[in-house]
Amino acid sequence: MSGKLFVIGTGPGNPDQMTPEALAAVAQATDFYGYGPYLDRLTLNAGQRRHVSDNREELDRAGAALRSASDGANVCVVSGGDPGVFAMAAAVCEAIDNGPPEWRNVELIIIPGITAMLAVAARIGAPLGHDFCAISLSDNLKPWDVIENRLQMAAKAGFVIALYNPISKARPWQLGKAFELLRAVLPAETPVIFGRAAGRPDERIAVQRLEHADATVADMATCVIIGSAETRIIARDGQTDLVYTPRFISGGNR
């Protein structure tokens, strides 16, 4: 008989942003699959086993977890943030879709979490207060020209844009190129938010104007949010400025 396969998100890393539902899943599982730093966020007991894999081995990890659950174990696949946003839930579904028939019998329980853009937005105001999109800037999984097209169409349509995976050692130039493309569409003063490790002790939130936005501020732990033409900054004395996108548009077709 198959075991259960939980897919959870830890949230961005602040333990108080992890839901009771996700913690209850952790309590039920014996075997944990994930990238080491995400597994490190969990408090496991002596009988619970960690199966650490590298950040880029999602499909192998999903297969290993499915095999174990199919053999009867209660298994937990651990993502940061929300498991459904550029994370393990899609990898597990891909593995089921292309795997042996018995993997379809595994009881799959996906548990939502706080994804990075929500945590970053909360720290700075309400930049996602109106229509928005989320784009992974990684061109490991899709051609760069698709990303360029999406950036341009999203900006032209008036979406606020949240960028996941903005930069890495192997992908050093893509974020700068994205800013360059967006400068051709959006006003120079459009706010750009660099939200690193939101809610964690090493949190760092910076706001720049698109005109001067500096891609080197971002690292792998950063979610970048680029405003729309409607996004505004509220200056405050003695407190961080707020960035928000109003809920309304008064004008006609953009």
Scan residues 17-76 and list those touching a copy of itself (CB under 8 A): 17-21, 24, 58
Residues 81-140 that bind a copy of itself (CB under 8 A): 82-87, 89-94, 96-97, 104-105, 107-108, 110-115, 118-119, 121-123, 125-136
Can you read off the two tokens belonging to residue 156? 């032209």
Contact pattern from residue 157 through residue 186 relative to a copy of itself, giving x for each residue in contact according to CB under 8 A and a dash for the rest: xxx---------------------------
Nearer to a copy of itself, 98 or 212 (CB): 98
Contact between 11 and a copy of itself by CB under 8 A: the answer reads yes
Nearer to a copy of itself, 216 or 239 (CB): 239
State the DSSP code for 87: S
Contact between 218 and a copy of itself by CB under 8 A: the answer reads no
For the CB of residue 200, give the shortest distance to a copy of itself in the complex, in Å: 13
Among 4, 150, 200, 209, binds a copy of itself (CB under 8 A): 150
What CA–CA distances, in Å, run from 133 to 53, 127, 130, 218?
A: 29, 12, 10, 19
Cα gap 174→136, rounded to integer Å: 11
Cα gap 190→213, rounded to integer Å: 10
Pairing of strands 31-35, 242-244: unpaired
For the CB of residue 97, give the shortest distance to a copy of itself in the complex, in Å: 5
Nearer to a copy of itself, 44 or 126 (CB): 126
Q: Is 251 exposed, middle or buried (0-12, 13-18, 19+ CB in 10 A)?
A: exposed
For the CB of residue 197, give the shortest distance to a copy of itself in the complex, in Å: 14
CB 124 within 8 A of CB 242: yes
Residues 224-253 that bind a copy of itself (CB under 8 A): 232, 234, 236-239, 242, 244-249, 251-253
DSSP codes joined into one string, 29-71:
-SEEEEEHHHHTTS---TTPEEEEE-TT-HHHHHHHHHHHHHT
For the CB of residue 189, give the shortest distance to a copy of itself in the complex, in Å: 16
Cα gap 144→254, rounded to integer Å: 26
Nearer to a copy of itself, 22 or 210 (CB): 22
Cα gap 247→169, rounded to integer Å: 37
For the CB of residue 244, give the shortest distance to a copy of itself in the complex, in Å: 4
